[in-house]
Amino acid sequence: MHASLTLHSKATSSPPPGAHAGTSAPSDPAPRKSRVAWYFLAGLLLLGGGGTAAYYRSKGSTKPVAVTTDVAVLKTITQIVTASGKIQPEVEVKISTEAAGEIIEMPFPEGSKVRKGDLLVRIKPDIYQAQVDQQDANLVAAKASSVQARAQMAKAQEDFKRAEDLFGKRLISDSDFTASRTALEVAQATYENALAQIKRTEGSLSQARDQLSKTVIYSPMDGTISSQNSEVGERVVGTGSFAGTEIMRVANLVAMELRVRVNENDIVNVKVGDRTVISIDAYPTRKFSGTVSEISSSAQGGGAASQLAAMSDDVTNFLVKIRVNDPGVQLRPGMSATADIETQTVENVVAVPIQSVTVRATGGLTTEELQKKAAKDAENKSGGSLDAAAEKREARRTREVLSKVVFIKTGDKVRQQSVEVGIADTTHIEVKSGVKPGDVVVAGSYAAISRQLKEGMAVTIAKPAKEGEKR
């Protein structure tokens, strides 16, 4: 405006000296030029003001975030723990030998059904039979020795009685009487030793016969030979103190179970009697019903191995046995299977998609923003880093300030709502408070829910991807 006023004052100034007052001057183009310059400057000012206003207006508004939505519903939720393992018989007996030798007979091949008491294995008994014969002969000799010792003792008793009578009549000396008494005592000791020798030999004979009996192995139960590790003609090793060579296994293949390993975070939810849905790889189109029958009290490994596992960073698992209820088909040991253990069920509860629930800190900060803030605070501390204890305290404080939230769509904006959640299945999670049936909650995308959405932010419904984009 100042420039326009200056031009206008110049245009209306007095005529130059020497001009005649009565003579009209020719028309001057200066006024028209000044008006053009004024219009040009005014246009620049208007354009500049409009651009500035548009810039600040665009800076103050945010582009709506594209999201997908779902509706909170009432449904039944079943919490499931999934684990994989192998099918095994509930009862399986390992047949090992306590006698060493060569296998000379195995009547039943692998897969045969056997009854309790059927002959399974016969080991060459020659050595053990010889030991029995030897101990039997020793027993006969010991008995003969006892008969001889008894006769000698009887003679010594008669001699002592006669010597005692003569000594009473003072017909023999003291030394003769003492010798007669000593002979009697030696004869009695010899006879007692012979009796002990008989018992010792009988024990050795019984042991030899027991070893001989172990060369023949009978089936301890009704079942099927599930595996066979030795053949006729092979030599096996066995002792009475340690387990010998495993020859075969006999199992009851009618009662089968699935043995799985469950993570320590999930084992607290599993209990005996939980219903289970079993998927066996060999029968991909069928589902089998099962029941949790046993849960191990300690982690896998046992003893020193468990202690080492506790000190390491390895994943800790617990063995869980699941009885397969009436499979209806032939199951074989070692088949791979997966179990879905139904640990808890709630009915008619408010549920939202699992991905709808996220976490926010105080002030609506996302976990990413909270981590950046914590990292910045850590850099500002002396030393530029935190010690281990301080890091743990900081992590604990971070967990404490985080709360679970969902974003409820209201019109074109979202509202951040704190919620209390319960159990979850594969698709939905129970919401105990904060959401009502029929509320429209944001269900995607993951990036929008976890990092972008804030209280009151504008949203728009994302368009479904085209068929060509999906491919």
Domain membership flag for residue 26: no
Q: Are residues 323 and 383 in the same domain?
A: no
Q: pLDDT by residue (tens digit) across 202-248?
A: 999 999 999 999 999 999 999 999 999 999 999 999 876 777 889 99
What pLDDT does 46 receive?
65
Write out the two tokens for 272: 């005996």
User: Which stretch, 157-171, 254-268, 380-394, has highest mean pLDDT?
Assistant: 254-268
Identity of the highest mean pLDDT range in 43-52, 259-268, 391-400? 259-268
- Side-chain half-sphere CA neighbours of 255 within 13 A: 12
**Domain presence at residue 83:** no
Q: Assess if residue 44 is contained within a domain.
A: no
My answer on whether 265 and 238 are in the same domain is: no
Lowest mean pLDDT among 2-16, 37-51, 161-175, 326-340: 2-16
Query: Among residues 346, 379, 402, which one ends one of the domains?
Result: 346
Per the prediction, the chain carries an average pLDDT of 82
Residues 79, 85, 86, 92: is their CA dihedral positive or negative? negative
Query: Is residue 455 domain-resident?
Result: yes
For residue 317, tell me if it sits in a domain.
yes
Same domain, yes or no: 320 and 357 = no
Interatomic CA distance for residues 245 and 95, integer angstroms: 9
Same-domain status, 107 and 219: yes
The fraction of the chain above a pLDDT of 90, given in percent, is 61
Q: Which domain holds residue 191?
A: 131-205
Q: Which residue has the higher pLDDT, 21 or 271?
A: 271
10 Å Cβ neighbour count for 11?
14
HSE (side-chain half, CA atoms, 13 Å) at 228: 16
Domain termination site, one of 173, 205, 237:
205
Q: Inform me whether the pLDDT recorded for 27 exceeds 80.
A: no
> Does the pLDDT at position 340 exceed 80?
yes
Per-residue pLDDT at 462: 86
Q: How many structural domains compose the chain?
A: 4
Parallel/antiparallel/unpaired status of strands 459-461 and 65-71: parallel
- In a domain, residue 7? The reply is no
What is the model's pLDDT at position 2? 43
Least confident of 22-26, 64-68, 80-84, 264-268: 22-26
402 pLDDT band, cuts 50/70/90, is confident
The mean per-residue pLDDT over the stretch 328-346 comes to 92
Same domain, yes or no: 318 and 385: no
Say if 81 falls within a structural domain: no
Residues 99 and 243 both lie in one domain:
yes
Q: Decide if 210 is inside a domain.
A: no
Q: What is the mean pLDDT of residues 378-407?
A: 62
pTM over 0.75, yes/no? no
Q: What is the pLDDT of residue 41?
A: 67
CATH classification of the domain holding 418? 2.40.420.20
Q: How many CB atoms lie within 10 A of CB 258?
A: 28
99 in the same domain as 234 = yes
Residues 100 and 175 in one domain: no
Q: How far is the C-alpha of 37 from the C-alpha of 318, rounded, in Å?
A: 89
DSSP letters for 281-318:
TT-TT--EEEEEEEE-SS-TT-THHHHHHHHSSSPPEE
Same domain, 233 and 119: yes
Same domain as 354, residue 339? no
What CATH number did the domain enclosing 109 receive?
2.40.50.100
Burial class (CB in 10 A: 0-12, 13-18, 19+), 4: middle
Residues 6+ apart with CB under 8 A from 264: 299, 315, 316, 317, 318
CATH number of the domain encompassing residue 314: 2.40.30.170
Contacts of 346 (CB under 8 A, 6+ apart): 76, 77, 422, 423, 430
Single-letter code of the amino acid located at 91: V
Query: End of a domain among 227, 250, 273?
Result: 250
Model pLDDT, residue 167: 85
One domain for residues 117 and 141: no
- 271-287 residue pLDDT tens: 999 999 999 999 999 99
- Per-residue pLDDT of 149-188, as tens digits, reads 999 999 999 999 999 898 888 888 889 989 999 999 999 9
Same-domain pairing of 237 and 304: no
